[in-house]
Amino acid sequence: MKLLSIIYGFIVFLRNKLYDLNIFKEKKVDGVEIVCIGNIVAGGTGKTPAVQYFVQKYLEKNKKVGILSRGYKGKRETDLLLVRDEKKIYATSKESGDEAYLHALNFQIPVVVCKNRYEGATFLKEKCGVEIIIMDDGFQHRKLKKNKNIILIDATNPFGMDDYLPKGRLRESLDALKRADEIIITKSNYVSVEEIAKIKERLAKYQKSISVATFEESYFYKLNFENGKKFGKINNGNKMENKKFPLEIIKNKNVLIFSSIANPAVFYQTIKKLNPSNIDEIKFTDHHVYTNEEILEIKEKTKNYDYVLTTEKDIVKIDENIENLIILKMEFKIVEK
């Protein structure tokens, strides 16, 4: 495993050096501002709610915003896919990937997935007429020149065990932070003040603006289903109102939680502090695609629990109504600049 990490690290170093020396060229899309929300550690930094935070921020400034994603694990016939525009959703979560589909559900703005981020950004500019592109991940995708790189550091695992993939979680060296314009320490509410201070101390040498953000539970909600299928109204272009529940609804209740996210421990901790009487958990690997048998198993278990809980990233992959299923809404908040 260590040998694989060394090989991986060398390849990443060489590739970055070729870009730094301008042997590999970055490509710029004129007439649009590209803001990348990225990280240097694989998975679990809270990029999805951070992307939504910055989208909302620019929308409030009356900017025309689009979202660009790689569409990780999305299975589509062509690389570039328009997931939605201002009117309607055109793709399924299986085609677009989890994150992009979740963005499409939360905003009525253009969402595009494309492994070739330059091509995707060009499409958003020329075909959708956006002024701002929020890039969900892609700090390591250096082919596309960004106007701003905002790097998220997960307070619960800030430096990826100080080793490259696959032994550790680092996508590239911490020195890559020299390319960042801003650093945000996320999930600060899951660690002590002393831990945050240690992270800041280690980041200080990069001389970047450092903010601190929380990843906080907001409420639970239940999706409406029509004929056993969810999102029917949204797919027709209309905003669907979801039934909301206060966080206190699970206090002293027997609950089952399931997820397929990079950091399920944070989900568990969040539910635990809401004081249910009991928590049972089913964990799947990150970006797992649920089989019919697994959904049936979860549905069978529901009769033993007051509530079944999952994440927003998971619900986009479930097309069946599960009794007593409610989804936890999490929000990204910058609390210190």
Annotated binding site for ATP: 41-48
Q: Spell out the long-range contacts of 122-128 with Cβ–Cβ below 8 A and sequence spacing 24 or more.
A: 122/29, 123/80, 123/82, 124/32, 124/66, 124/68, 125/29, 125/31, 125/32, 127/82, 128/66, 128/85
Q: What's the count of helices (H) and strands (E) in the chain, helices before strands?
A: 10, 15
Which DSSP helix (H) or strand (E) runs through 233? helix 232-235
How many Cβ atoms sit within 10 Å of the Cβ of residue 306?
16
**163 to 1, 21, 105, 196: CA distances (angstroms):** 11, 25, 36, 20
Annotated binding site: 41-48
3-state class (DSSP) for residue 337: coil
Alpha-carbon span 186 to 199, nearest angstrom? 11
